[in-house]
Structures are given as C-alpha cells and as structure tokens.
Amino acid sequence: MAILTLLQAVNEGLKTAMRDDSNVLVFGEDVGPKGGVFLATEGLTSEFGEERCFDTPLSEDGIVGAAIGMAMNGLRPVAEIQFQDFIFPAFDQIVSEAAKLRYRSGGQYTAPMVIRTPYGGGIRGGLYHSQSGEAYFCHTPGLKVVTPSTPHDAKGLLIAAIQDPDPVLFLEPKALYRSVKGEVPEGSYTVDLSTTRTVREGDAVTVFCYGAMVPVCEKAAEQAEESGISVEVIDLRTLYPLDEQGVLAAAKKTGRVVTVHEAPRFCGYAAEISAIIAERAIEYMEAPVTRVTGFDTPFPNTLEHHYLPDHRRVLDAIERVHAF
C-alpha cells in the first residue's frame, strides 16, 4: 500500500475512476492543466486529455447545470466547486434539479454525478473560504452528502460516489488535505456509503464527528483516557443518508454522547444526531447529549483559532457528560 495524504488520495480516486470508466470526466474552475487550486486534479489533463478534464468559466450554476445534463445522457461527471463557499449560485441546480430528477421523472432519469468541493476552516481563509454548509444539503432528499477524514476513506468513498446512481455532494475537509497521511490500497476499491467508522473503542462516552473534527476528537479522547475516561470516537463519514442504526448502537453503548462539528451551532448537523438519540434511545441516556460546534457568527479570520472547536473544548464536553 502507498502512504498518501488525503489530497493525494482524492487525486488517486479520480484517476482510478477515470481509468476504469471512460464515461467519467472532471471539470471545474482551473482543474485542467493547472490541477486545481489545491492540486487535487493534478495530472488528469495530461493523462486523459482535455476532453475528459477541462476548465470551465467562472459560473457555478453553469458547472452544475452542465453536469446534470451530462449525467442524464450517460456520462459520469465529477464537477468541482473551487471552495464550498462558492456553491450557493448553484444551489437551485443542486437542490431543485439534480436531487429531484429521479422523483420528478418517476425513475425514468437519474443524475449519477459528483460535486466535489473543499469545505471548512483551517487555512485562515476568512469568511468567504472557510464555511461548512453541510446542513443545507443534508436537508435535501435525493442528494447524498459525504465527507472523508482519512486518505483510505477519501479514495474509497470518492470511487463509491462516482459509481452511485444518484447525485453525491463530496465535501473534502481542506484542513486535512496535507496534514494527515495513511495507507491507501492501489487500484479500485470502494467504501460503502451510509456507514460509520469506529475510530477508537471506548465504553464511557461516545463522540460523533466527521471531517476535520475527527483528529481533534481523537486527541481529546487520548487526553480523556489519561484521566480514566474511556471514549469511543465515531466518524460518521456519510452524513446523508446516515447510518442511524450505527449511531444508535454507539450511543446506547455508553449512554453519554458528545457531537462535534465546526459549522455554526443553530440547526447544525449535531442537532439531527441529538434528535435521533432523543427520539429512539432516550431510555439509554445517562446525560444530556452535548454539542461542541462553531459559533453562530460568520466565519472569522484572525479569530479562527477561537471559532473552530479544538481538543480542549471537546475534552471539556467529555468530562462534563461523564460527570453528569
């Protein structure tokens, strides 16, 4: 197995899918010869030609609209939105068109397409390059929302997303692009969508997280262990559809739950986890479900280190629910 960064694993996933299926093509702003702003598509144009990896105009609604048309006509488009913050001009295309196509056509048409986009903080990008908008899209039936936290999952989930018969929003935590490395199998493999990953076994507190918050929660769990608190860390991976049975089993195991994400708190993804547990596993709970999140403000620049949850905030939540 090769040792790759998460960014390199995304690149390998794209190359593998394109080698396996000539209908897979990649396009977006600066993704061609330049290889993208983060170099996620580096080398694709030189290997597959400009017909299969090419630059587009600066028009997100045009990028996604073109992908929908291609997907309806037998191709497997992978459209890149340079930063998730730029996706909102294409919101109607994603929510009203791509996600609704199977339903409105009575199953006659589908949109097998992937929209890749870097999201979240960690690069001091300020309010226009650091947003986490996953909750907007998880509210949309017909759309899958996926975010990896390891190189292994980045490649396997991406290939699975490209092979999926319906549209997938593939959120890449840019803070982890070059900061994490791991073993990645060569060739083609998939990681099933709608499955969680147990990052760390524990029996006192369960922590649910995803994306760039996974290593943060791992560090908090390690420090909690030094105090005698055994913490189970669960990487959700596929936010929609969610592996609800996996979530309930992990919550019931400890009876104490902390949920973590970097997006704003109000109506954030952690609220859905809390509601599922309240509705279906409340009798197992020994403490209130506790959320550790970003704040209900625009994403700051100079105060990014205060806005983003860190291991100290997560550790404090773990200790509070354990002591309840």
- Residues catalogued as catalytic: 129
Which are the contacts of 258, defined by CB distance < 8 A and separation ≥ 6?
205, 206, 207, 208, 289, 290, 291, 292, 314, 317, 318, 321
Distance, in Å, from the CA atom of 324 to the CA atom of 129, rounded to the nearest integer, reads 38
Q: Per this entry, what is the length of the chain?
A: 324
Which are the contacts of 66, defined by CB distance < 8 A and separation ≥ 6?
27, 56, 77, 79
Distance, in Å, from the CA atom of 164 to the CA atom of 170, rounded to the nearest integer, reads 12
**What single-letter DSSP state applies at residue 116?**
E
Given a contact cutoff of 8 angstroms between Cβ atoms, the answer to whether 239 and 146 are in contact is: yes
Given a contact cutoff of 8 angstroms between Cβ atoms, the answer to whether 81 and 90 are in contact is: yes
Given a contact cutoff of 8 angstroms between Cβ atoms, the answer to whether 232 and 246 are in contact is: no
With H, G, I as helix, E, B as strand and everything else as coil, classify residue 82: coil
CA distances to 18, 22, 249, 276 from 280, rounded to whole Å, are 42, 45, 11, 6
Distance, in Å, from the CA atom of 87 to the CA atom of 121, rounded to the nearest integer, reads 16
Task: Report the sign of the C-alpha dihedral through residues 206, 210, 214, 216, in that order.
Answer: negative
